[in-house]
Amino acid sequence: MGKKDGKKAGKKDSQLVLRLDKAERDAFVELCKDLDTSAAREIRRFIRGFMKENGSD
């Protein structure tokens, strides 16, 4: 096996903290579960789409 540099390819290494109403957060997480996805995945998808639509790569 080769040397490891401590990071996997594509590994997330940053966080975005946001505050929202607990009921809204819980409903979002539950909906994601119902749709067999994760809240984090859907937030990342939103961010990527938003950046693409608004001219940022």
Per-residue model confidence (pLDDT) at position 51: 95
Exposure string (b/e) for 25-43, b if CB count within 10 Å is 16 or more?
eeeeeeebeeeeeeeeeee
Cα–Cα distance, 21 to 57 (Å, whole number): 30
φ/ψ of 11, rounded to 5, equals -70, 135
Cα–Cα distance, 33 to 30 (Å, whole number): 5
Altogether, the residues listed in the chain come to a count of: 57
What are 1-12's pLDDT values in tens digits?
555 555 566 788
Per-residue model confidence (pLDDT) at position 11: 82
Q: What's this model's pTM, rounded to 2 decimal places?
A: 0.73
Per-residue model confidence (pLDDT) at position 22: 98
Mean pLDDT in runs of 10 for the chain (57 residues)? 58 92 98 98 96 87
